[in-house]
Structure 1
Amino acid sequence: MIVAGTGHRPQKLGGFGRATQARLLVLASSWLTARADITRVVSGMALGWDLALAHAAVLAGIQFTAAVPCDNQESRWPALSQAYYRRLLALSDDVVVVSPGPYEPWKMQVRNEWMVDRCDLLLALWDGSRGGTANCCWYAQRVERPIENLWGEWLRLNDSDSPLASGDRR
């Protein structure tokens, strides 16, 4: 089974801190390792959920495709995020630049549709708000691709009683 991921950026997930990154990785890894039928992960390679899912695929030994929306998408990111992105790109089994050339907002949706068209299941981390993640989920619904949304699990993982929850929320 090929799983593509869509989800929010760090700003909607609790910030850019290590604790949030760790919780994202725990969620993605838990889901992937619980499924024996995953043969490939397709990641849109954006900050937040996308990179966590790619990282979890590497840790689980699952092949992953880096579906990059445009050339140099990471060029405006913080240096540490750029380094993390480039390490994951180097570990991917396949890098596809879906819309070559510089950043244009429409290229994000073209990337989303490319991913959905090639997956058997869309794994979302979506709070229901409008934006790129919503657009990806709505496209998946239109083409009748199954969606599993882990937002409820994310909220439970971030509950103040969770041992992984900590103070890097912004």
Structure 2
Amino acid sequence: MRALAEDVGAVMRTVAGTGHRPATRTNPDGITPAQMPWVRAKARAGLLWLAEHHDTEEVWSGMALGWDLVLASAAVDLGIPLRAVIPFESQPEVWRDPRDVAEWRRLRAAAESEIVCGPNPTSNQHAAALLHGRNDELLRAEGLFACWDARKRSGGTHSAVKKAARLELPVVHLDPAAQVVCGLGCSCVETLKPSTLF
């Protein structure tokens, strides 16, 4: 995998996001409320940096709660075209907070383009398959912008980062727990080094 800190000339016209959902009682490993201001600021700064240094002109979001919607919102606010990569139409129907559903709808309406990966799921297994299919679609982008706690070695974000490594996609990595940013090369996965990318 190419580390962006070393490969500053990498062109990534399309950048996809993958990242954690918000921390909850049932998902304590997500982005905590205390981490969220840093994550929001770095999403915006990172997109500006990617546009300036890597010619990024389109952001792809999987439209999940947490990082996906944070990144999509930053793209829309900055005027960077958004592609909504939606796993299935009923994605937000299980969300408890109506503000989250309204934000999903706002960002979907603001997207320049969208892909709906499959029909509404009929089981939890079907939903999981569609979510993984959505992640595979995101990995068709030229680069990945990941909000990933590198201590976490399971789940959809970890799976997407591992697949990106196999595909040799350049990755920008925000670690919300350590609050560091780096280009994600093979050694960075194991040992994060603070960076001044943005």
Q: TM-score, normalised by structure 1?
A: 0.82
| Shift in alpha-carbon separation, 1:20–1:106, aligned structure 2, 3 A | same
CA RMSD across the alignment: 2.0
Aligned residue number for residue 41 of structure 2: 26
Q: Is residue 93 from structure 1 mapped to residue 112 from structure 2 by the alignment?
A: yes
Q: 1:113 aligns with which of 136, 146, 168?
A: 136
Cα distance, 1:97 vs. partner? 0.5
Aligned residue number for residue 9 of structure 1: 21
- Percent identity over paired residues: 36
DSSP-derived class of the 1:62 partner: coil
Q: Is residue 134 from structure 1 mapped to residue 149 from structure 2 by the alignment?
A: no
CA offsets 1:36-68 (integer angstroms, 9 cap, x no match): 211100000000111011011111111010000
CA offsets 1:53-108 (integer angstroms, 9 cap, x no match): 10111111110100001121000112111011111111111121112222611111
User: Contact between 1:6 and 1:44, CA under 8 Å: does it hold in 2?
Assistant: yes
Distance 2:43 2:86 in 1: 19
| Count of matched residue pairs | 153
| Shift in alpha-carbon separation, 1:88–1:122, aligned structure 2, 3 A | same
| Shift in alpha-carbon separation, 1:33–1:153, aligned structure 2, 3 A | farther
CA offsets 1:97-124 (integer angstroms, 9 cap, x no match): 112222611111110011102x111110
CA offsets 1:101-159 (integer angstroms, 9 cap, x no match): 22611111110011102x111110111211000111111112221222111696269xx
Q: TM-score, normalised by structure 2?
A: 0.71
